[in-house]
Chain A
Amino acid sequence: MEFVNFHLIPGLVLGSIYALGAIGVTLTFGILRFANFAHGETMTLGAYLTLTLVLLAGWHPLLFLPVAMALTALFVLGMDRVFFRPLRRAPTIILVISSFGLMLMVRSLVQVVWGVKLQSFSKGIALPWVFFDSLRVFPKHVVIAAAALALMLGVHVLLRHTRTGKAMRAMSDSPELARLTGIDTERVIRATWIVGAGLAAAAGIFLAYDTHVETLMGFKMLLPVFAAALLGGIGRPYGAMAGGLVIGVVEELSTYAWIGSEPLLPPGYKAGVAFAIMVAMLIWRPSGLFRGRVF
């Protein structure tokens, strides 16, 4: 039961959070064609906006999920208008570096506005449901997994069954052809930012709901999220979902005592797992599990 309680369930929860973050990364990469380093800070921002709403109104944090997602998307649209749009035709490296600069700016902004102190949505501790005297399931984990699944289904419907979604996929496959067929590229870019930022905010909020809010939380998620996007294949939203789940579960399982009573990997090195997977994928299968783009 220790395996399920402390490795499998947290792994699935963490994995679904990574998956949400990775969808945004992979969409931006596929459609705007650069690795957005500011994506981690977008998650942080979503968590802090929710924290503010929770402190102001005192309701359950997940009730504010749509509001925080919308606010974060607005912020990111503003960011795109001011920083990325003037650079639309610039070489990729310039966009990547500007996103890096934005990352630092947004983080500093968050630190100035909200301070660097560790905070949490709710005070006190939350106790789990206990089944059969040993299986411990936290209500918050169920809620997070369910909400993440719902959001992923939403992405699926958007991509498969709406004009915007189809346009996004077309842009991702071939921007030139998409433009020739009369797709409004600026509109698709806006939609990409809205979806990416909304999901990033949700990922940040879920992580904060499970643990706590601090200014580096998004930055620490950046590496596993990039690894998830690569694992799934760049530009492949379904790949990102699968990649996120795999990375989250493998990270948590790597510290289980598979052999003997000692953890297979000392927990301090857990973060290295995502990195190792990322490097291995880049070497042996750069297109990812779902045959994504190779740059």
Chain B
Amino acid sequence: MKHIRHLAAAGAAALLAAGGSAAIAADVKVGSAAGITGPIEGLVPPILAGRNLAATHVNEQGGILGGGTYMLVPGDSQCNPKAAVDAGTKLVNVEQVVAVIGPSCSGATNGMAQSVTIPAGVVTLSDSATAPMISFLEDGDLVFRAAPSDGYQSSALARFAWDAGLRKIAVTYANDDYNAGLGEAFVAAFEQIGGTITGKQAHEPDRQSYRSELSTLAGGGADALAVFAYFGGSGITILRNSLENALFDRFLGADGMMDNSVIEQLGADTLRGKITLSQPAPEAEGDSGPGESYTAFAEAFMAAGHEPTAPYVSHGYDVAFLMALAIEKAGAADRGKISAALREVANAPGMVIRPGEWQKAREAIAAGEDINYEGASGAIEFDENGDVSGATYTFNGVGDDGTWTPMK
């Protein structure tokens, strides 16, 4: 008992001391919404690690707004519009965050933006919402994203399929904003190149089996099946049903499938050579190979014990860092000023700031200089829709070590 009382006293003293120093500069809270649980839970921890690394860089190099702590308040959007509205409401109304980064999924971003953040006048900056429809939200310039619209990804994947000699493709997509957007865009892109879509079907996620759906699709005689789904929602089940029933043996997919549990569940040897997944290239391209910005991020991220090529981790870093820059630029934790400030710090012209260069950026902003963040995932120039422009994509297959490996 005595020990506990001593501990409590020590804790109180520590709190007082901490409170004393924090009183000089206010802490800044930004919501960090992500699909921590739900159908992409395996993809989210590395992305959060990316965001948190940016916060660490900010706090280690002098903090935000004159020494305050840059705090990312987590919210679980569950990759689900309803949950995202709840998480967003809590962040905006209870935590009183200045702005929100995330959520992860397009449907969640759409739901949260329309129901919570746009009405409240709060900026949303997503690192992985890629559905084309996000561009056209009536958002009063409040919704931004560092991930390229899937208009690009679908074209890139369609081109890849055509170059790989596939002419007839069946398409199935999960009935949500991200997968449906990607699926429809892929169908349009592949038909435009001259390919044939033998059948397309929306499916409901989370079913125990898709045998009957797949047998209908296979009836069209396609060379391959394009699966647009989250791996934990329906992706793994569709691959399993297709392979077990010998309905398809060539698959195409996108970043929502790129989790190692797909390979663990189905077996590397079963999948090798049969599946190709597209992913926005994690690195900004330099003149030859990865650019300086990406290298700066990748080195810091690897030093922290993480894998920088995982889907959207560099985007995660970029949104957290950009948001800090925008707040610093705005000069106050003022929701209304973030949107304009975000464009100023992200877009050219200005002094180039790269990942990790918080101190340099802070000093430049203090001196009244214009800055231009060149992110790990790309140059990040927001257009009038708050989108970044065209990106390059990598194509991944099952590598010799049983993980997703870029194919040359």
Contacts and interface: CB of A to CB of B under 8 A. Distances in A.
A136 B219 contact: no
Interface stretch (B105-113, B263-271, B350-358): B263-271
Contact of A125 (B38, B204, B206, B240): B240
Interface stretch (B130-138, B180-188, B209-217): B209-217
Nearest to B235: A118
Contact of B175 (A10, A120, A268): A268
B149 to A, nearest CB: 26
B261 A117 contact: yes
B236 A2 contact: no
B230 to A, nearest CB: 11
Contact of A116 (B41, B210, B236, B243): B41
Given A6-B211, A212-B237, A263-B212, A118 B232 contact: yes
A125 B243 contact: yes
A267 B37 contact: no
Interface in A231-269: 252, 255-257, 261-263, 267-268
Contacts of A257: 216
Given A252-B212, A270-B207, 10 more contacts: A5-B245, A6-B215, A125-B266, A138-B244, A212-B208, A212-B240, A214-B206, A263-B212, A267-B213, A268-B204
B203 interface: yes
B118 interface: no
A99 B41 CA distance: 30
Given A10-B209, A123-B267, A125-B267, A117 B204 contact: no
B195 interface: no
Interface residues of B, number: 34
B41 A124 contact: no
Contacts of B201: 267
B245 A117 contact: no
B313 to A, nearest CB: 20
Contacts, number: 85
A124 B267 contact: yes
B212 A118 contact: no
Contacts of A118: 232, 236, 261, 265
Contact of B212 (A123, A212, A262, A267): A267
A60 interface: no
A6 B245 contact: yes
A217 interface: yes
Interface string B134-170: 0000000000000000000000000000000000000
A134 B326 CA distance: 63
A267 B203 contact: yes
Contacts of A138: 244
B388 interface: no
Interface in A1-45: 2, 5-7, 10
Contacts of B204: 268
Contacts of B264: 123
Given A211-B237, A212-B236, A267-B213, A125 B208 contact: no
Contacts of B206: 214, 216, 220
Contacts of B41: 116-117
Contacts of B267: 123-125
Contact of B203 (A128, A252, A261, A268): A268
Interface residues of A, number: 36
B216 A263 contact: yes
Contacts of B406: none
A180 interface: no
Contact of B208 (A7, A220, A261, A263): A220
Contact of A2 (B203, B207, B215): B215
B42 interface: yes
A127 interface: yes
B211 A10 contact: yes
Interface in A191-214: 207, 210-212, 214
B296 interface: no
Interface in B1-43: 37-38, 41-42
A125 B270 contact: yes
Closest 6 CB pairs of A and B: A124-B267, A6-B215, A255-B212, A267-B213, A268-B204, A211-B208
A82 interface: no
Nearest to A269: B204
A57 interface: no
Nearest to B243: A125
B202 interface: yes
Given A116-B41, A268-B175, A125 B216 contact: no
Given A124-B270, A125-B244, A211-B237, A217 B203 contact: no
A220 B264 CA distance: 25
A263 B341 CA distance: 53
B232 A256 contact: no
Contacts of B211: 6, 10
A67 B160 CA distance: 51
Interface string B31-59: 00000011001100000000000000000
A252 B212 CA distance: 8
A17 to B, nearest CB: 10
20 contacts: A2-B219, A5-B215, A6-B212, A10-B209, A117-B41, A117-B232, A118-B232, A118-B236, A118-B265, A123-B264, A124-B266, A207-B208, A211-B208, A211-B209, A211-B237, A212-B208, A257-B216, A261-B219, A262-B216, A270-B212
A132 B266 CA distance: 27
A270 B203 CA distance: 11
